[in-house]
């Protein structure tokens, strides 16, 4: 399970647990929650309430997961969990489908920049936005128009966009692609469509990232943000995990301090963090911040924290890293300090999965720390 995976990686910094992209985090939590042997059916309401997220966001996640075979729609409001083991078959299916649609395939194995600015470039897959074309057909027929509208809607769906995005990697051998390149290839160059679809591609990429199917990187030439295909059981540059569970990845962070999931800062509805207690310990630790500072008055401040003020999780600052040669007594004391620190700074997640993640992580870190200190 993902919790154990996290527990086995105590060197993971706390910020990776607390600062990240919301949708990616939601997807991670979703996968963590349901990636269990006894899970067969998933209710959307259940998922939304257990994750403490809006139903709307669950739709985004399940659409992407369904596209790569992890879920299958069973009925209204209900999905069947197929699990990560279904991914290879789904990818193979997409690959076959891709080659069937476009037998000539395409070659993205080279530098993706070669097509980045070419306005006349033909799209690799048929444009998803068929509206303009379809609108010209049978304008008088209501039934036809309705069916065309339905078809348009389907064609614009997040699920189909996900599949075509994945096809760019598995059929076209793109190793790295920027989202605007992907949008151009999939949707053509119309500016308005591009803008909208790139937003959707961000959503998709966040979910795929959280599954470790892709990872965020930079285009080699332009240094623009891009995504690299890792594939099923793919390895990030940082991780060598082979366990299937490791496919649940900590999404990369969006770098602003206060935007924690389920935590009410500006936009969110749920209230949060700490109540200003234990000010003594806090004063000692005032240079350690992850998201919010103590007290109601500081909430806004916390919300406005920048990546500059957001420096460390509670694990990093040198002042609190034990010096080599520290006595065992001190070590125990340190662990206790960490313990109290973790209590003081413990984020007040509404989301049960996050609470569990945090607890497991803290537990793992403490035992790792004791063990490591004991060896010295």
Partner DNA sequence: TGTTCCCGCCAGTTA
Partner DNA sequence: TAACTGGCGGGAACA
Choose, by CB under 7 A, the member of 179, 183, 214, 292 that binds DNA.
Answer: 179
Q: Is 59 in the site for DNA (CB under 7 A)?
A: yes
Task: Please give the residues from 298 up to 317 whose contact with DNA meets the rule CB under 7 A.
Answer: 303-307
Q: How far apart (Å, rounded) are the C-alpha atoms in residues 87 and 105?
A: 22
Under DSSP, is residue 160 helix (H, G, I), strand (E, B) or coil? helix
Q: How far apart (Å, rounded) are the C-alpha atoms in residues 136 and 130?
A: 10
E-state strands within 205-296? 214-218, 225-229
Interface mask toward DNA for 260-289; x: CB under 7 A = ------xxxx--------------------
Closest approach, Cβ 229 to DNA, in A, equals 17
Bridge partner residues of 226 (DSSP): 217
Q: Is 182 in the site for DNA (CB under 7 A)?
A: no
Closest approach, Cβ 260 to DNA, in A, equals 10
Instruction: Give yes or no for a contact between 189 and 162, defined as CB atoms under 8 angstroms apart.
Output: no
Instruction: Give yes or no for a contact between 52 and 65, defined as CB atoms under 8 angstroms apart.
Output: no
Give CA separation, 356 vs 2, 33, 129, 360, in Å.
11, 10, 42, 6
Which secondary-structure segment (H or E) carries 280? Answer: helix 279-284
Q: Is 198 in the site for DNA (CB under 7 A)?
A: yes
Give CA separation, 86 vs 65, 106, 123, 359, in Å.
11, 26, 29, 30
Closest approach, Cβ 364 to DNA, in A, equals 26
Q: How far apart (Å, rounded) are the C-alpha atoms in residues 169 and 361?
A: 34
Closest approach, Cβ 370 to DNA, in A, equals 34
Q: Is 196 in the site for DNA (CB under 7 A)?
A: yes
Nearer to DNA, 7 or 161 (CB): 161
What are φ and ψ of residue 316, in 5° steps? Answer: -90, -40
Q: How far apart (Å, rounded) are the C-alpha atoms in residues 289 and 294?
A: 10
Choose, by CB under 7 A, the member of 163, 206, 294, 351 that binds DNA.
Answer: 206
Nearer to DNA, 148 or 288 (CB): 148
Nearer to DNA, 307 or 363 (CB): 307
Determine the interface stretch with DNA among 74-82, 85-93, 314-322, 342-350 (rule: CB under 7 A). Answer: 74-82
Q: Is 24 in the site for DNA (CB under 7 A)?
A: yes
* Sheet order of strands, 78-81 included: 41-43, 78-81, 71-75
Choose, by CB under 7 A, the member of 37, 76, 103, 191 that binds DNA.
Answer: 76
Q: Is 45 in the site for DNA (CB under 7 A)?
A: yes
Under DSSP, the state recorded for 323 is: P
Picking from 108, 79, 61, the residue whose alpha carbon sits closest to that of residue 209 is 61
Interface mask toward DNA for 225-264; x: CB under 7 A = x--------------------------x-xxxxxx-----
Interface mask toward DNA for 149-168; x: CB under 7 A = xx--x--xxxx---------
Q: How far apart (Å, rounded) are the C-alpha atoms in residues 104 and 148?
A: 28
**Number of residues binding to DNA, judged by CB under 7 A:** 52
Choose, by CB under 7 A, the member of 1, 16, 44, 121 that binds DNA.
Answer: 44
Residue 153 token pair? 């809607």
The residue behind tokens 């806090």 is 282
Q: Is 21 in the site for DNA (CB under 7 A)?
A: yes
Interface contacts to DNA, rule CB under 7 A: 21-24, 44-45, 54-56, 59, 62-63, 75-77, 146, 149-150, 153, 156-159, 179-180, 192, 196, 198-200, 202-203, 205-206, 224-225, 252, 254-259, 266-269, 303-307
């Amino acid at each position: 399970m993902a919790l154990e995976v996290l527990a086995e990686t105590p060197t993971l910094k706390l910020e990776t647990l607390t600062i990240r992209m919301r949708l990616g985090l939601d997807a991670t939590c979703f996968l963590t929650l349901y990636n269990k042997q006894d899970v067969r059916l998933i209710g959307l309401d259940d998922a939304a309430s257990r994750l403490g997220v809006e139903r709307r966001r669950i739709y985004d996640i399940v659409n992407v997961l369904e596209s790569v075979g992890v879920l299958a729609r069973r009925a209204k409001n209900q999905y069947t969990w197929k699990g990560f083991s279904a991914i290879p078959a789904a990818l193979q299916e997409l690959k076959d489908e891709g080659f069937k649609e476009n037998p000539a395939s395409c070659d993205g194995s080279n530098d993706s920049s070669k097509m980045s600015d070419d306005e006349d470039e033909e799209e690799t897959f048929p444009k998803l936005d068929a509206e303009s074309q379809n609108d010209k057909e049978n304008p008088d027929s209501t039934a036809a128009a309705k069916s065309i509208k339905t078809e348009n809607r389907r064609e614009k769906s997040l699920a189909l966009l996900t599949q075509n995005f994945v096809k760019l990697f598995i059929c076209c051998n793109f190793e790295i692609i920027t989202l605007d390149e992907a949008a151009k290839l999939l949707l053509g160059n119309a500016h308005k469509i591009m803008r909208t679809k790139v937003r959707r591609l961000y959503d998709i990429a966040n979910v795929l990232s959280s599954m470790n199917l892709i990872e965020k990187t930079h285009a080699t030439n332009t240094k623009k943000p891009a995504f690299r295909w890792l594939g099923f059981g793919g390895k990030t540059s940082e991780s060598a995990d082979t366990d299937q569970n490791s496919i649940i990845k900590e999404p990369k962070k969006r770098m602003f301090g206060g935007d924690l999931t389920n935590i009410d800062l500006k936009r969110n509805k749920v209230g949060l963090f700490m109540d200003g207690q234990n000010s003594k310990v806090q004063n000692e630790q005032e240079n350690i911040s992850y998201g919010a500072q103590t007290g109601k008055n500081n909430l806004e401040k916390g919300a406005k924290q920048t990546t500059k003020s957001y420096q460390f999780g509670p694990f990093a600052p040198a002042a609190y890293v034990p010096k080599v040669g520290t006595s065992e007594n001190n070590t125990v004391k340190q662990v206790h300090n960490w313990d109290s620190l973790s209590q003081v700074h413990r984020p007040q997640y509404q989301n049960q999965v996050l609470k569990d993640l945090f607890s497991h992580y803290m537990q793992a870190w403490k035992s790792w720390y004791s063990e490591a200190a004991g060896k010295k």
